[in-house]
Amino acid sequence: MKLTAMLLLSLFLLASCGAEPHEAGTPVTVYLPGGPDDRAAVVEKTLYCPEGETLWVFALNGVLSGAGGHSAFPSGVTADGSALADGVANVSLSEEAAPLTGFALTQARACVVLTLTALDGVNGVTLKIEGQDAEPVLFRASDFISGSLVLADTERIITLYFIDELGERTVSETRQLVVRETDTVDWYLRYMAEEMIAGPKTAGFRPALPEGTRLLSVIVEGGACAVINFSGEFMPGAGNSGVSPRQTLNCLVRSVTSLPGVSSLRLLVDGQPLETYGGIDVSEPLRTSIAAAR
């Protein structure tokens, strides 16, 4: 009888040693950049917020630090002065985040917005990066997860259009991306717009958009019409880029319609539909033939 009891106790201890440890605290889902072997641009990780800590602050810090993995943000980024009010998390990031551009910036924003809007009572996130954003930009989860799914898991080439060094001709550059099952057309539209703002990588090529232009939101309506909402700096003359309005529209339309299934572009500035741009009628969705190459 004694031997049986000792055997049962040994089996219990062995089972306890093999069991998953129980984490203390409130479970929180944070979003981090997907790695080379992941089938998504962002991936989920569960953290446990200790009792007494503010849930959304803990989640935000988990995103910035990478939660023991890879962070979408450069080392040293902080969010001092951030606050939650009326269902919107107002996140102010330090200047260490300012070097982020293009897809890296989109991915970093997605990690913050998807993490915070997954929490009860958080419906949106305003983001402001010191040294990059003049005003906070409002994002919602739908900015990153809505739209038609791109179902192929393969590489795709996106073509972007800029201006040559003489300011006379439209020139192209390409970006190579991995298309994953969870990515959407909206996601790639946002990436394209951010890359247009970041400018060309080829020495001598000129940006097509006025200096200081910021991206406020994107969406693909009906799976075919890209709607891009730029800040006021996008208007002709505001950024003093030396590029004509027709060149800007030409580059934008050509770049947008290089995305799969997208055939036209509609422009907003500060949330308001544009009627004219530098004297050019843009009241209707623009197609490649409207902003013909020079």
Can you state the angle between helices 102-117 and 55-65, rounded to 10 degrees?
A: 150
- Cα of first residue to Cα of last residue in the chain, in angstroms, is 95
Beta strands in the chain (DSSP E): 26-33, 42-49, 83-85, 88-93, 124-129, 137-139, 154-163, 170-179, 215-221, 225-230, 264-269, 272-273, 276-277, 280-281
Per-residue pLDDT, 179: 59
Question: Over the chain, what is the mean pLDDT?
Answer: 80
What is the mean predicted confidence (pLDDT) over 163-175? 85
Task: Return the half-sphere exposure (C-beta side, CA atoms, 13 A cut-off) of residue 179.
Answer: 18
Of the listed ranges 6-15, 98-107, 236-245, the least confidently predicted one is: 6-15
Could you read off the pLDDT of 208-232 as tens digits, one per residue? Answer: 999 999 999 998 887 789 999 999 9
Place of tokens 């969406």: 219
Cβ–Cβ < 8 Å for 286, 266: yes
In terms of residues, how long is the chain?
Answer: 294
| Per-residue pLDDT tens digits for 251-281 | 999 898 877 778 899 999 999 999 999 999 9
Alpha-carbon span 168 to 281, nearest angstrom: 22
Name the residue among 194, 201, 199, 200 with its Cα closest to residue 217: 194
pLDDT of 90 above 80? yes
Matching residue, tokens 């939650």: 84
Return the pLDDT at 42.
79
The identity of residue 287, as a single letter, is R
Q: Which of 29, 46, 41, 35 is nearest to 182 (CA)?
A: 41
Domain segments of the chain as ranges: 26-142, 146-281
